[in-house]
Every structure is written in structure tokens, then in C-alpha cells.
């Protein structure tokens, strides 16, 4: 990716383009551990061994968005999970601005964005410590174009969902970077409740079948509700219900 074709980002960010990588999350963790500054955005052209939550593979193709934002937060680590909802709503707003108004864009707990019930994007959080500071990395992958052989359902690309699109990884990253600044400022000024209310507007999880793979358990059932702190309540097949936090889902 040449310098001429790099996205134009707000001044708050510093862009690092890394070309093709195996796993962007691993690359970002290494850069963060080496002290990459807050606001660093790492952009990859492609991932050949992309990993989602619980080690599940993610289909990463060239032409789609694979990007991470590094933060060095000074708030309580117990609130790190709130950045997942900040990230999802900001990325959702960025995508919504580049698709048709009638597109059925929705959020699926805890880290996916869907169009017409099919996954087009996911967000993952990673974190660690360096000396007296700590870091939080927000990584997104967005299916913009149809990759070789297509996607394995229920994943889909924005191109397939829309029928046509002039959206590129660069233009979407530009939009997400602006939206992320806006949403994190809203989070700081108005609190998590405000961000969560924005997430709820596009949430389509209640009443849907859930299959969640945690480190030590697999949970299947019907989503009953998402609580005000972002936890999901699932009704199991035997009628019992259990609550899963986004922290547990991210193996924190």
C-alpha cells in the first residue's frame, strides 16, 4: 500500500501500515508491548491466520478492512469492556453512513455487526501492561468485498448485501476513526448508559438462538435480554437461565 493511497485520519491518530500479516491482533499486541503510543492505528491489507474470540478463525481477505486502534487508558480496568460497545457503535455508524438507508444493519451481542442477519464485521479487544502503564487494543475486521470463494455463512460482505458498493477499506477507516473519537467523547461526557442506549437501538439479539463458546463451557439457548452493564441473559434448553458477561466472552 503506497503512501499516496493511505487513508487521511484525524490528527489524534498515527497510522502504521503493515501490509499482509498472519494475525493482526498478534501484531498489534507486540507493538503495544513495545510502547506504541495511544492513538496508533495499525492497518493491514490482509490477514492469513486471523483469529476471533476463543481462537475461532476469521476469514480475512484483501480489500476488506483490518485495523486496530491502540489506547493507553487511565480509567479503571474493570471498565475496559465498555470500550467494546464504544467500538461497535462507532464502527456501526461508520458503516451505516456508506450503505443504503434501508439496509438492515444491526448489532449482535457482544462483538458483531450484521446486515440482514448475516455477519459483516466483528470487533475484538486485547489488553496488557507495560512498565507503569497499560494498553488496550481494539481490532476490527469488516467484510467489504467478496473474497475468493466467498464467505462461509452466516458471514457476508457489504458488496453482497448491497448489490454494489464504492466503499473501500480506506474510506471506511477514515469514517471509523472519526466516529470513534466522537463516541469515546460521548462515553466520557455522558457515561456508558448513553452508549449502551445507542447500541440497543440497533440490537437484534433478544429472542434469537445463541451459541457461545467460553474457555470452560459452551452455552446454547435463547437470548432473553442484555442487561444495562452489557451482560447477556440466556434461557437454556432445560428452562434454566444463565448470565454471561462480555468480559467472560473475551476471556478476561
Question: pLDDT of 208-251, one tens digit each?
Answer: 998 888 877 889 999 999 999 999 999 999 999 999 999 988 88
Superfamily of domain 3-201: Bira Bifunctional Protein; Domain 2 (3.30.930.10)
Q: What is the β-pairing status of strands 232-236 and 40-47?
A: unpaired
Mean pLDDT value across residues 164-185: 94
Please tell me whether residue 4 adopts helix, strand or coil conformation: helix
Q: How far apart are CA 91 and CA 183, in angstroms?
A: 10
The greatest distance separating any two alpha carbons of the chain, rounded to the nearest whole angstrom, comes to 58
Average pLDDT of every residue of the chain: 89
Task: Look at residue 3 in the predicted model and tell me its pLDDT.
Answer: 39
Whether 137 and 29 have beta carbons less than 8 Å apart is answered as: yes
Residue 100: the pLDDT is 84
pLDDT tens-place string over residues 12-23: 899 999 999 999
Integer Cα distance of 75 and 132 in angstroms: 14
Residue 101 pLDDT > 50: yes
Amino acid at each position: 500500500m503506497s503512501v499516496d493511497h493511505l487513508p487521511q485520519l484525524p490528527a489524534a491518530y498515527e497510522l502504521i501500515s503493515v501490509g499482509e500479516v498472519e494475525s493482526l491482533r498478534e501484531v498489534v499486541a507486540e507493538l503495544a508491548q513495545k510502547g506504541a503510543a495511544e492513538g496508533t492505528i495499525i492497518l493491514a491489507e490482509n490477514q492469513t491466520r486471523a483469529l476471533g474470540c476463543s481462537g475461532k478463525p476469521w476469514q480475512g481477505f484483501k480489500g476488506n478492512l483490518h485495523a486496530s486502534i491502540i489506547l493507553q487508558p487511565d480509567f479503571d480496568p474493570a471498565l475496559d469492556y465498555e470500550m467494546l460497545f464504544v467500538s461497535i457503535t462507532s464502527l456501526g455508524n461508520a458503516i451505516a453512513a456508506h450503505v443504503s438507508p434501508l439496509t438492515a444493519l444491526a448489532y449482535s451481542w457482544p462483538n458483531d455487526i450484521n446486515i440482514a442477519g448475516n455477519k459483516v464485521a466483528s470487533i475484538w479487544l486485547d489488553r496488557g501492561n507495560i512498565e507503569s502503564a497499560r494498553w488496550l487494543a481494539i481490532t476490527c475486521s469488516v467484510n467489504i468485498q467478496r473474497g475468493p470463494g466467498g464467505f462461509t455463512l452466516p458471514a457476508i460482505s457489504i458488496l453482497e448485501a448491497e448489490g454494489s458498493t464504492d466503499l473501500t477499506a480506506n474510506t471506511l477507516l477514515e469514517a471509523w476513526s472519526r466516529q470513534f473519537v466522537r463516541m469515546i467523547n460521548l462515553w466520557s461526557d455522558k457515561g456508558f448508559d448513553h452508549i449502551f442506549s445507542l447500541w440497543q437501538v440497533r440490537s437484534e439479539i433478544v429472542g434469537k438462538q445463541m451459541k457461545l463458546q467460553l474457555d470452560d463451557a459452551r452455552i446454547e439457548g435463547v437470548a432473553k435480554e442484555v442487561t444495562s452493564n452489557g451482560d447477556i441473559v440466556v434461557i437454556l434448553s432445560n428452562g434454566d437461565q444463565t448470565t454471561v458477561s462480555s468480559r467472560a466472552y473475551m476471556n478476561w
